[in-house]
Amino acid sequence: MDGLKRQAAARALQQVQGGMTLGLGTGSTAQHFVELLGEKVRSGLKIIGVPTSEATRAQAERCGIALTTLDEVDRLDLTVDGADEINPALDLIKGGGGALLREKIVAAASDRMIVIADDSKCVDVLGRFPLPVEVVPFGFAATRAAMARAFAQSGVSGQMGVRKGKDGHVFVTDGGHWIVDAHLGRIPDPPGLAGLLSVIPGVVEHGLFIGLAGTAVLAGSQGIRVVERR
Ligand code: 5RP
């Protein structure tokens, strides 16, 4: 699986040109991309990156990649990031690594997003992977109840759990928020559910990435498939 992730990352790297400002994703697949990008930078490629998490910032710095922020630049040429699930419309579930808020801000500020993955991430219908929803700790019970109503309105239901870290404590995102993982099984209308979740005051952001990825680079045992959003 790791070899496939690296192959997808290497293919996406072919889209990178000197002078670009790049969004750098988070997670094990994006890590391969950052590592390969770092090799190119050390051979003379001139790009500048915007990391989507503190973990990616630390890795990019170790790799010698020049970094900036969305305070200094307001548009990026390209973001390359992984995903937890990808449907045929290239709608995504992201946030398994807990970085969905910065990932979505960076993707939305980019002219183009390429999602890189091994092809086990491809599904017909999103939702087998628990949907991460980033919430403010204040008023959590009320937010959770509002989320349950949004799920019911969208015709889905399932267990919701506050994510815990490896240390057993509540996982806190880079933005200081919590993540609720919603085990929905099937999300038949991702744009509809995205709209319902977005208007809940305690929801900071959710892991449905609708209409953001323009290209998916999917590596499988039969080779690499590049899918463009129609
Ligand atoms: C992090 C993410 C990751 O892109 C997603 O979890 C995929 O990770 P991996 O490449 O390790 O499978 O959304 O918030």
Tens digits of per-residue pLDDT, 146-200? 999 999 999 999 999 999 999 999 999 999 999 999 999 999 999 999 999 999 9
**Dist. CA 67–CA 31, nearest whole Å:** 16
119 & 169 share domain: no
137 C-alpha to ligand 1 centroid (Å)? 23
85 & 179 share domain: no
58 & 138 share domain: no
pLDDT in tens, 104-160: 999 999 999 999 999 999 999 999 999 999 999 999 999 999 999 999 999 999 999
pLDDT band at 201 (very low <50, low <70, confident <90, very high): very high
As given in the structure block, the two tokens for residue 198 are 């977005």
Domain count, the chain: 2
Q: What residues flank ligand 1, with Cβ below 6 Å?
A: 25-30, 81-84, 94-100, 103
- Residue 230 inside a domain? The answer is no
**Dist. CA 33–CA 54, nearest whole Å:** 16
Write down the pLDDT at residue 1. 79
97 & 162 share domain: no
- Residues acting as catalytic residues: 103
- Tell me the average pLDDT across 210-214: 98
- Partnered with residue 32 across adjacent β-strands are none
171 secondary structure, DSSP code: P
27 & 53 share domain: yes
Mean pLDDT over the full length of the chain: 98
76 C-alpha to ligand 1 centroid (Å)? 20
**Dist. CA 74–CA 95, nearest whole Å:** 23
53 & 95 share domain: yes
- Residue 76 inside a domain? The answer is yes
Q: Which of 16, 80, 11 is nearest to 47 (CA)?
A: 16
119 & 142 share domain: no
180 & 154 share domain: yes
**Dist. CA 81–CA 12, nearest whole Å:** 10
pLDDT band at 230 (very low <50, low <70, confident <90, very high): confident
Domain containing 59 equals 2-123+210-225
185 C-alpha to ligand 1 centroid (Å)? 19
pTM: 0.97
pLDDT in tens, 27-84: 999 999 999 999 999 999 999 999 999 999 999 999 999 999 999 999 999 999 999 9
141 & 93 share domain: no
45 & 106 share domain: yes
> Residue 31 belongs to a domain with what CATH number?
3.40.50.1360
59 & 144 share domain: no
